[in-house]
Amino acid sequence: MGKLKGFFKGFFDDHGGTKVRKIDMLALGMGDFGYGLVSSTVATYITSFGTMALPGVSERGFTALLMGIAVGIAVIFDAISDPIMGFVSDHFRSKVFGKRHLFMLVGLIGMMATGLAVWYIPYQSMNAAGIFIWFTVFLILLRTFNTMYYTPVGAFSVEISTDYNERTTIQAARSVLYIIGLLLCVVVMGSFQNKYAGFYDAANNLVVQGKTIEKATEAAAASGIDLTGLSYRKGQQLPGGYRDFALVGTAITVVTSAFLLLTTRRYVKILRLREEKAAQEKGIDLNAPEPKFTMQQCREELIAEGNKKPLRLQVRNRLQKKRAEAGQVTVGAIFRNFFASFKVKEMRTIAIGYVVAMMSATLIISLGFNVFTFTFDLTNTQMYVLMGALLLCTIGFQPLWMKLSKVKSKQFAMFTGLIVSFIGCIVLFICFLCRVPINELLNTDKEAWGVVLLCPSLMLAGAGTGVLYSMPLALVGDVVVIQREETGIDKTGTYAGVMTFCYKAGQGIVTAVSTALMGAVGFKTGEASQTRDAADGIGWILCIGVLIFVGAGLIIFSTLKLDKARISRILDRQKQQAAEVAGGASVPIAEVGITPVEEAVEEAAASEDVEEE
Q: Which of 324, 326, 300 is nearest to 314 (CA)?
A: 300
Least trusted range by pLDDT, from 226-240, 280-294, 331-345, 546-560: 280-294
DSSP one-letter code for 311: -
pLDDT at position 248: 92
Q: Which of 61, 355, 29 is nearest to 181 (CA)?
A: 29
Average pLDDT value for the chain: 80
Assign 593 a pLDDT band (cuts: 50, 70, 90).
very low
Could you give the strand order of the β-sheet that contains 198-200, starting from the edge strand earlier in sequence?
A: 206-209, 198-200, 231-233
Are 493 and 520 contacting, i.e. CB atoms less than 8 angstroms apart? Answer: no
CATH architecture of 14-192+237-282: Up-down Bundle (1.20)
pLDDT at position 5: 55
CA distances from 137 to 40, 41, 62, 131, 575 (A): 19, 18, 16, 10, 45
Tens digit of pLDDT for each residue in 32-90?
898 888 887 887 778 778 877 888 887 888 876 788 788 878 877 776 777 778 777 87
pLDDT at position 600: 40
Higher pLDDT, 227 or 528: 227
pLDDT at position 286: 60
DSSP string, 511-580: HHHHHHHHHHTT--TT-S---HHHHHHHHHHHHHHHHHHHHHHHHHHTT----HHHHHHHHHHHHHHHHH
pLDDT at position 594: 39
418 pLDDT more than 90? yes
Task: Give mean pLDDT, residues 458-474.
Answer: 86
pLDDT at position 91: 74
Torsion of CA 461, 38, 167, 270, to 10 degrees: 180
DSSP one-letter code for 344: S
Across 123-132, 235-244, 565-574, the highest mean pLDDT is recorded for: 123-132
Beta strands 206-209 and 231-233 are unpaired
Tens digit of pLDDT for each residue in 145-161?
988 888 888 888 888 88
- What is the Cα–Cα distance from 562 to 579, expressed in whole angstroms? 26
Task: Give mean pLDDT, residues 374-385.
Answer: 74
- What is the Cα–Cα distance from 501 to 34, expressed in whole angstroms? 19
Are 386 and 372 contacting, i.e. CB atoms less than 8 angstroms apart? Answer: yes
Domain 345-562 has CATH 1.20.1250.20: yes
Assign 546 a pLDDT band (cuts: 50, 70, 90).
very high
pLDDT at position 613: 36
User: Which pTM value belongs to this model?
Assistant: 0.67
Task: Give mean pLDDT, residues 335-364.
Answer: 85
Tens digit of pLDDT for each residue in 475-498?
988 898 888 888 777 787 778 778
603 pLDDT more than 60? no
Are 184 and 34 contacting, i.e. CB atoms less than 8 angstroms apart? Answer: no
Burial of 550 (0-12, 13-18, 19+ CB in 10 A): buried
260 pLDDT more than 60? yes
DSSP string, 443-463: TSTTHHHHHHHHHHHHHHHHH
Task: Give mean pLDDT, residues 572-580.
Answer: 75
Q: Which of 182, 184, 170, 156 is nearest to 35 (CA)?
A: 182
Q: Calculate ∠ Cα 124-125-130, nearest 5°.
A: 105
Assign 609 a pLDDT band (cuts: 50, 70, 90).
very low
Which residue ranges does the chain devote to CATH 1.20.1250.20? 14-192+237-282, 345-562
- What is the Cα–Cα distance from 571 to 159, expressed in whole angstroms? 11
DSSP string, 51-82: HHSSTTGGGGT--HHHHHHHHHHHHHHHHHHH
DSSP one-letter code for 288: S
Separation of CA 542 from chain center: 21
Tens digit of pLDDT for each residue in 431-454?
999 988 888 887 776 667 777 888
Exposure letters 286-324 (e unless 16+ CB within 10 A, then b) = eeeeeeebeeeebbebbeeeeeeebeeeebeebbbebbe
